[in-house]
Structure 1
Amino acid sequence: MGKGFYISKPLGFVLFGLGVGAVLTIFALSVVYSQEKRKNEVNARDGTRMVTTAAPHSTSAPSNEPWDKYRLPDTLLPAYYNVTLWPRLVPDEQGMYIFTGKSGVALTCVKETNLIIIHSNELNFTLTSEMHHAKLAGLGGTSAPVILKTWFQIQTQFMVILLKDNLQVGKSYWLYMEFRGELSDDLGGFYRSQYTENGVKKVVATTQMQPTAARNAFPCFDEPSMKAVFHLTLLHPPGTVALANDIFIRHSCSDFPLDTENVTIDDQEVLQTRFEPTEKMSTYLLAFVISEFTNLRSPSEANVLIRIWGRREAIESGQGDYALSVTFPILKYLENYYNTTYPLSKSDQVALPDFAAGAMENWGLVTYREQSLFYDPKVSSNEDKEWVVTVITHELAHMWFGNLVTMRWWNDLWLNEGFASYVSYLGADYAEPTWNIKDLMVLQQVQRAFGVDALVSSHPLSSREDEVITPDQIDQLFDTITYSKGAAVLRMLSEFLTESAFAKGLHNYLHEYAYSNTVYTDLWKKLQEVNSSIQLPASINEIMNRWILQMGFPVVTINTRTGIISQQHFLIHPDAVVDKPSDYNYEWFVPITWMKSGSNMGQHWLLTKTASYEPMKTDTDWLLANLNVTGYYRVNYDPQNWERLLTQLTADHKIIPVLNRGQIIDDAFNLARAQIINITLALRTTKYLYEEKEYIPWESAIRNFEYFFLMFDRTEVYGPLQTYLQRKVKPLFDHFKVITSNWTRKPPRYMDQYNQINAVSMACKTGVKGCSELTRMWYRQWMKNPDSNPIPTNLKITVYCNAIAAGGVEEWDFGWQMFKNSTIAAEAEKLLYGLSCTKEPWLLNRYLEFTIEPNLVRKQDVAFAIVYISGNVIGQPLVWDFVRANWEHLTKDYDDGSFFFGRLIRGITRKFSTEFDLQQLQRFKEDIAASSFSFGTQAIEQAIEQTKANIKWVSENKVQVMNWLIEQSA
């Protein structure tokens, strides 16, 4: 998953209207960078002088020197590294956690040069001689030139080594360095995580290298194409276990590798673990963990050693059992899917108490948030279980696609992450075949991508390499477009090629480019070779470039009276100006699948702006396009066909496929927001919902009504809106009451278990009789017996929110105590959300103060908690005041760059829809510009754009919506 998206369901609801993605989910998610780091000039422990030397000229002046460019020169290639690292898991005299290291790299000269430029960031180096931070020797009898001087180019994060003479082309050299760094808690590079077990604080040393943080752990050529073999040695305290990408393990009860030994260094007894050399791989996939964790493992007869690592309490209570049970089947599924054997001998998966992303696909040593790997059936929900199996599949899919074959540069990140996001549903469907989980791609990936890709601030999936240069630019690629749109367009490609042909092309791609790097067109070539017999209107390259190299997507309009079909670039804000040129003029090759009145079906390619297609012409039948939403586009129809579809929904909605019922609702609401159809037509697509029992249509409707709640929950529209939805959801609430025997058992179908959550949540939100009483009853029972939670696992987040909202300080304090006591990450996250629902302003203010106390709320959860509180109509103005008042503090203590502040700003301003809101936001922008803190400025600009659009939408639709809702109540 890489930096990944971590998106909880409540946050997904909160942010969906903005189109700024989950997860997130999801997904996901990100790597966190410290902007201000403490620098040590003196090592107090061993007296070694440490320096950070500035460049020999001003970095502010324009320069064409190679060290002033962010990309490595093409003069040297690494072959292998020897790296020894010793993290201290206790603070030194200055209260710092440090690590020391020694590293050597064998490099080959491919172009004559007298410079060695290697990445290094936030490391202090031992001087080997005056102004020298490194030693250089020749290999294979080659003599090495003398080092004249070394310095650090801070902006481009390089160590620069100037040599007296040139290196010889074709010859190899050995570069050796010793260094010292901080094992900080910033969640990036080589960092520390901590937890408490039996009242004792435990410290974990772990890593997050993607995308550009391996250089924070040791000097390296930190670009994806600079693949090498890594020989790693870790020094660690007795009682701890060291893990890395590769390791030679005894197949016995011992957890230690054969070459772990006790050594004494500087009068300290430590364990020294040497690891087997890795496969040839990129630096961002390197990982190591030192901890007191324990593990579950696969049976000894398995041909791949699989282990699930985590806190002893979590492992011994069975929280890793589900992950262990699905990992081997998923690995076997992927081996069959790729027709390629798993390339490693072991698969370690580690749950970390502190982790910024959802998970990270380090080769052979995957790291996770605890919530992404651990599952407890007594406490966790279906959503938690689904999250675990899809994240595991996502990361294991990378073992081949991304790790074995790697993108040449970050501009093709979308192929790595989009592909893994797509395949995660295939593997999860294999592991849990009764769930029908592949259908959820439409909600979780396609619709999520639509929300962001309909903005002028979107971007193409792939760009030129020279447009993605700096670490910040690379960071910004880890977004909804990369993950969700990438998955959506690859799903579309697989559909029109067929899944079997798609998989065959993947096998050939992996076979030819194993242990090397590619660009996305290499995949197109392999797919074209195995699909030469399939009738396509153009080559795969020609078709897909229109989806890859230009942002956005089309809305296809079908006129069933004339048979005319057309396409146009869909923008959610119709007055937005697209200032990004496209070589394809924002036209796409669109694969249109369609059906008439539930029987006749067909497929047609739309290759131009407008075309005529006689089979789509009809006077009596309804026509439905984009069957099962396999294509990445929205659909509009002539008014007559819209009416026929609405009539069919009312008469017998089951004739229309369930995915398309969700599509009709989602397309209609978004077409209305774009002023392509009238808002009342969109609302009419929901009139039939009192008969609907399926999850996907209901989920589509609820997500779209969330925008109405955001815009109208402080206006007179709120009452009629609540009344309308109450009438629609009450039959659903009653339905689930019956099939669960008065809420005493789970619905039998997986999708019904999801829709039960919607039924209870919406029933409580709209005031359906009996709902609030039900949630309060469960919560009170729990308060009476904290050791026995009676609340159904799937309904916990809804019950926590509604019961705390209906209660007072006693209910809130109980929830807070349960949050602090929770040893299960999924449970803690639900309480984190539930606590934000209170209607007491002073409790919300207290909660806000708690969020910036690291001992109370983990840093990885701070932005989520604040955004949750802002989703409360009472909490929103409190959050806005709090963030402005504490901006400097947040900047200093949670300085992980644009991702944290982007998520925060977009989340807390999503309700802004008045001129006063806009004025405050513009003033905040001015205050930030006048200060020394630049974080979040881009997000503020986007929030201003969204606020203006909200103001316009409310002014144009408020009266219409109000009148229509009142009519429905008459």
Structure 2
Amino acid sequence: MSKGFYISKGLGIGAVILTLSAIAGVVTMIIMYRVEISGMNPTARPTFAPTTPFPTGPPPKMRLPGDLVPESYTLFLQPHFYTRIEDVVNVTSPNQTLTFTGNSTVNFRCVRMTKTIFIHSKNLSLTDVRVMNRDANEPIDVLEQYHHDVTDFFEIQLGDVLEQEGNYSLFTAFQGEMKEEESVGLYISKYKEGVPAYGDDAAADRYVAASQFQATHAREVFPCFDEPALKATFLVTVIHRRGTLALGNSEMSDNRVIDEEWQVTSLHPTRKMSTYLLAFVVSEFESVTSTPTHKRVKSNIYARPAAIKAGHADYAASIAGKMLEYFEGRFEIDFPQRKIDHVAVADMPGAMENWGLIIYGELALLFDQEKSSSLHKETITNYFGHELAHQWFGNLVTCNWWNELWLNEGFASYMTFFAVDNVEPSWNIKDVWAVSALDDVLDWDSTNASHALNASMDSIQTPDQIDQMFSMISYTKGALVLRMLADLLTQGTFDKGVNMYLKAFQYQTATSADLWHYLQKAVVEDGGHTKVAEVMDSWTNQIGYPIITINTTSGEVCQKSSVEDSDVVWHVPIRFGSQTSAPPLFMLTSDTVIKDELISKDGEWILANINVAGYYKVNYNPENWDLLLAQLERNLTALFCLQVIPLINRGQLVGDTFNLAKKKVVNVTLALNATRFLRNEREYLPWKTAVTNLRYFKKMFDRSEVYGPMQAYLRKQVKGLYYHVQRNDTDCLNCTVPPLNLPEQHLQITAIETACGSELPECVEMATNQFKDWMTTSINRIDTDLRSTIYCHAVAAGGEAEWEFLWKRFQNITEILEQEVYLSALGCTRKVWLLNRFLEYSLDTEMIRKLAIHDIVMSVAKNEAGLALAWNFIRARYSEMPENVCLHCLVAEVSSSFSTEFELYEVKQFQTEANITDGRYMEVALELVEANIAWVKENKQTVLEWFQKESAS
């Protein structure tokens, strides 16, 4: 799943019902079910005899005991919500109905004799429980049953022993509540259908029922063996209101009307899969089919009718079949189903890879040709690539337990960029992703937020512990480590081993040891000598990363852990080169070695981690740093981007110096010196890396005397780039110019954002003029790619008139795609009273959708005029925020800009006051604030003097 992430499921009725195919049978089932639940009376917790030949308590450590192995589920599910309240007739209340009912029959095999069934169930009322011996076709008495709240186990004590290798079934009837505040389990999503006229509030509310089961939420919809290794097939029937559409993992086998209010949709059995991949959507959505079509699999894009009619699903439809075909060819395994649906749900964060029914947030799937930035296509393709890769990595072959989640998420992240490169080759995004991803994840990988890729199984037991594995480590570090391994083995050998791994474990679960086995097999077949497990265990079983130090005068190469007081050693593949040579890769397996090839000859520089294939940072002796930085400035000044140092490594050098400065390995002035060459740099990647790293300086110093000289330096550095990217459409209106490719678009946005953000007068004037033209003419002629940047800086430079203009237009937008741009810009004003008003509006769900509160608070917090306001708002109003708002996430993100002892005290005080129990997040937040305090104290004067000197020269 793209974290972002999510899942779903259904129900079944009994052995007799399984044989019914006529619609009368379904009607009978409904009637029987309603009669059964009408007399619901929960059973009290039983009292056990002091001794028994079979265990009766819950199994240890939150895991199912493993006595029973599920084979198939038959599931009936009936969500009782209304898709449109205004059309409801013959009901006593106009309120939405959020209950669901259903039943499930799970067939299972007993692998170890037991007298007790443990199955997962959470927040469900179970109204009927029956156990059958399928071999003898006889019922088994249920003596006692009760629920364990801590473990989510539903315990069933039986009158007879379940025999080893015996075949049994469990029938349960249940009812539950659909969620409104959280997008997990079976939940309700609301959207506006129709576009109101200006000033009119006529857009009608519409409702969708959708599921999100990853990682442990299937148990909230039906009783099940809710662990990834306990795979089974699912035969699903959904009873839903007439006029709605029910979608599931597999294609429809039957659809019939059963009375004036209800219809029933039956689906073909699924492939063998984990419970977290089961999914449902019930809606009034419409669809468009992927074009070009896949030779065998039908790909449909589902969304709100208005979005489909407006063509917002067309871009997704244009790439869906291509990407699926690409992955089939790359993995040499056909997608095993006849259809795959891609569904856009308004409040879904990210996307979820349910097998055959991928559910996305609208931002991850829909593209408005007229209003969306063309860069939004990159977002969509990245999500598509990630979720489609999951159909093999995660769905076909699943991690055996959540402690090795990276086998799902790391592979999906790594494979994404091959798929994107295949459908959009001109974008050339792989290098940008590698450098930026490396910088992002390394900041986490030596803090208390980190964890080993292969966490210990005992440490990942509870749902909260499982959720914490959905981290940047599993997604990004997992992908980068795989990228490093592919470079070490060669891409061809790596792909061969991966494909053997997929074929060997399809419809099963696997561990990292299984992956190493098949990669090793490929290495041997291709004549290689790398010991895969020996190399990779050092990367997957410990946190942190190596900092490599190369002394080019002595040839000494050292490695040291990024984690303080750690003496662990990695197997580090190092590929390096010089001005005149490119020696082969070598493996560093100890603390220190001497390599004659790394001794500089005739004053040549040495550059390590060529193409940034390795998951590490590189430091050099001062003489080599001087040579490298001089080379950057010399190349760009004299020959304008002559690629003596490859583009990806120009970005790497900037990122490495800033990372090493944060770690106190090098002086902060070295990192700042590494930005000097940018004055003549005209490529996106180095600028992107520099701007991202300098953002930390702005956060630390935007309220101090450093800010003025820093802004002056940035203006001087970016001015040449700003004029380089200037096009007629950025300083005039109604101009026709050739379209930019994606890297050029990124460069243009970065240049204008940096220029306006550093208050370059020409840029601020351009932004305000374009915004004023819109205000005056009511015709928005601002380039869609630049709207977010232009809106923000025009609102920042303006006053109440500009803010109110944008706010009024926001109120008349129903498209989430466009709302995001407006919400971000509204937080840019420097008027404190407007920022306070904006924060207050965030709590009014009639004005702002619930999931937008986080975005609003953060848009205010990133504004130097709004940081204190956002922090005070969180502390004063947190109890009024909806349940879906992640409070500890807000605290961690806002406090990342804090750098004083008083602010640290306030964070600690608020943690106690608000009873924030997620210790891991708060521990990291406090750790980062403490690091900020120390860093500012140590570096403020040095940084101030450096910026004063550079901005004056």
Distance 1:510 1:600, change over 3 A: closer
Tell me the secondary structure at the aligned position of residue 308 of structure 1: strand
Contiguous gaps of at least 5 residues in structure 1: 6-27, 33-42, 127-132, 249-257, 579-584
Tell me what 2:38 maps to.
48
- Asked if the contact 2:141–2:159 (Cα under 8 Å) also holds between the matched residues in 1, the reply is yes
2:405–2:469 CA contact under 8 A, matched in 1 = yes
Matching residue within 315, 325, 349 for 2:342: 349
**Kindly, what percent of the aligned residue pairs are identical?**
39
Cα distance in 1, alignment partners of residues 41 and 801 from structure 2: 55
Alpha-carbon distance between aligned partners in 1 of 2:533 and 2:820, rounded to the nearest angstrom: 43
**Partner residue in 1 for 2:367:** 375
Distance 1:535 1:673 in 2: 42
| Equivalent in the alignment of 2:332 | 339
The residue that corresponds to 1:35 in the other structure is none
Distance 1:52 1:876, change over 3 A: farther
1:486-501 maps to which residues of 2 (within 5 A)? 486-501=478-493
**Correspondent of 2:250 among 246, 252, 256:** 246
Contact kept, 8 Å, 2:56 with 2:116, in 1: the verdict is no
| Residue 800 (structure 1) aligned with residue 800 (structure 2) | no
Secondary structure in structure 2 of the residue aligned to 1:837: coil
Matched residues in 2 for 1:817 and 1:487: separation? 43
Does structure 1 residue 165 correspond to structure 2 residue 160? yes
Equivalent-residue separation in structure 1 for 2:112 and 2:596 (angstroms): 62
**1:40-189 paired onto structure 2 within 5 Å:** 48-50=38-40, 55-56=45-46, 65-66=57-58, 69-90=61-82, 96-126=97-127, 133-185=128-180, 186-189=182-185
**What is the aligned partner in structure 2 of residue 718 from structure 1?**
707
Deviations for 1:728-767, whole angstroms, at most 9, x for unmatched residues? 0000001111586856546634212101111101111112
* Aligned partner of residue 341 in structure 2, secondary structure: strand
2:191 corresponds to which of 188, 195, 212: 195
Letter in 2 for 1:862: I
**Mapping for residues 811-826 of structure 1, pairs under 5 Å:** 811-826=802-817
Aligned-residue offset at 1:187: 0.8
Whether the 8 Å contact between 1:598 and 1:656 is mirrored in structure 2 is: no
Q: Which residue of 2 aligns with 1:703?
A: 692
Which residue does 1:13 correspond to in 2? none
Q: Distance in 1 between matches of 2:576 and 2:479?
A: 22
SS at the partner of 1:600?
coil
| Alpha-carbon shift at residue 141 of structure 1 (Å) | 2.4
Q: Does 1:418 align with 2:410?
A: yes
Match of 1:635 in 2: 618
Contact persistence 1:68–1:153 (CA under 8 A): no
Judging changes above 3 Å, is the alpha-carbon distance between structure 1 residues 54 and 259 closer, same or farther for their aligned structure 2 residues?
same
Unaligned runs of 5+ in 2: 9-32, 49-54, 86-91, 195-202
**Which residue matches 2:231?**
227
Q: CA deviation at 1:216?
A: 0.8
**Closer, same or farther: CA 824–678 of 1 in aligned 2, 3 Å:** same
Q: Aligned letter for 2:807?
A: W
Amino acid in the other structure paired with 1:188: V
In structure 1, give the amino acid aligned to 2:905.
Q
Classify 1:499/1:79 alpha carbon distance in 2 versus 1 (closer, same or farther; 3 Å): same
Which AA in structure 2 matches 1:903?
C
Q: Report Cα offsets for 1:840-866 as digits up to 9, x if no partner.
A: 112111211222233333233322221
Distance in 1, Cα, partners of 2:729 & 2:616: 38
Letter of the 2:649 partner, please give it.
Answer: N
Q: How far 1:224 sits from its partner (Å)?
A: 0.4
Q: Give yes or no for contact 1:183–1:192 (8 Å, CA) kept in 2.
A: yes
Q: Could you tell me which of 819, 825, 828 is aligned with 1:828?
A: 819
CA apart distance, 1:51: 5.2
CA spacing shift, 1:738–1:864, aligned 2, 3 Å: closer
CA 1:108 to 1:728, structure 2 compared with 1: closer, same or farther past 3 Å?
same
| Cα distance, 1:906–1:535 mapped onto 2, change above 3 Å | farther
Which whole-Å CA distance do the structure 2 matches of 1:905 and 1:863 have between them?
A: 11
- Deviation of 1:819 after TM superposition, in Å, equals 2.6
Q: Would you say 1:541 and 2:549 are equivalent positions?
A: no
1:40 corresponding residue in structure 2: none
1:859 aligns with 2:863: no
CA RMSD of aligned residues (A): 2.2
Which of 599, 602, 608 aligns to 2:590? It is 608
- Structure 2 matches for 1:922-933, cutoff 5 A? 922-928=908-914, 933=915
Match of 1:305 in 2: 298
Separation (CA, whole Å) in 1 of partners of 2:945 and 2:344 = 52
Superimposed CA distance per residue, residues 70-122 of structure 1 (whole angstroms, 9 cap, x where no aligned partner): 11111111111111111112388575411111111111111111111111111
> Aligned to 1:156, what secondary structure does the other structure show?
coil
Amino acid at match of 1:704: N
Equivalent pair of 2:725/2:751 in contact (CA under 8 Å): yes
2:839 paired residue among 829, 840, 848: 848
2:100 partner SS: strand
Q: Deviations over 1:279-316 (max 9, x none)?
A: 01100000010000000013678421110000011111
Which segment is superposed worse, 937-946 or 49-58? 49-58
Quote how far apart the aligned CAs of 1:657 are. Answer: 0.7
User: Relative to 1, partners in 2 of residues 1:951 and 1:30: Cα closer, same or farther, differing over 3 Å?
Assistant: farther
Q: Is 1:54–1:153's contact at 8 Å kept on the other side of the alignment? A: no
Deviation at 1:783, TM superposition (A): 2.6
Q: How does 1:564-575 map to 2 (within 5 A)?
A: 564-571=556-563
Report how far residue 869 of structure 1 moved: 1.2
Post-superposition CA distance 1:311-351 (Å, at most 9, x none) = 01111111111111111111111011101111111110000
SS of the aligned residue for 2:585 comes to strand
Alpha-carbon separation, structure 2, partners of 1:217 and 1:456: 34
Aligned-pair CA distance for 1:934: 3.5
Residue number in structure 2 paired with 1:462: 454
**In structure 1, C-alpha distance between the alignment counterparts of 2:162 and 2:730, rounded to whole Å:** 79
Assess if the C-alpha contact under 8 Å between 1:67 and 1:153 holds in 2.
no
Cα deviation, residue 965, structure 1: 1.2
Shift of 1:168: 1.6
Q: For residues 642-682 of structure 1, what are the alpha-carbon distances to aligned partners after superposition, in whole Å with 9 as ceiling and x for unaligned?
A: 01011101110432111111111111011112111111111
Q: For 1:848 and 1:179, how far apart are their aligned partners in 2?
A: 41
Number of residues of Structure 1 aligned to a counterpart in Structure 2: 893
Could you say if the C-alpha distance between residues 389 and 95 of structure 1 is closer, same or farther in structure 2, counting changes exceeding 3 Å? closer
Assess, with a 3 A threshold, how the Cα gap between structure 1 residues 652 and 242 changes in structure 2: closer, same or farther.
same
TM-score normalized by the length of structure 2:
0.90
Measured in 1, the distance between the counterparts of 2:533 and 2:43 equals 48
Instruction: Mark the CA change 1:557 to 1:31 in structure 2 (over 3 Å): closer, same or farther.
Output: farther
Matched residues in 1 for 2:487 and 2:904: separation? 44
1:944 to 926, 942, 946: 926
Q: Tell me the residue number matched to 2:89.
A: none
Q: What secondary structure does 1:66 align onto?
A: coil
TM-score by length of 1: 0.89
Amino acid at match of 2:869: L
| Aligned pairs (5 A) from 1:569-584 | 569-571=561-563
**In 1: Cα distance, 2:521 partner to 2:36 partner:** 61
User: Aligned partners of 2:759 and 2:749: how far apart in 1?
Assistant: 15
Decide whether the 8 Å contact of 1:142 with 1:171 is kept in 2. no
Q: Taking structure 1 as reference, are residues 747 and 615 closer, same or farther at Cα in structure 2, changes over 3 Å only?
A: farther
Closer, same or farther: CA 738–888 of 1 in aligned 2, 3 Å: closer
SS at match of 1:177: strand
* 1:660-699 matched pairs, under 5 angstroms: 660-699=649-688
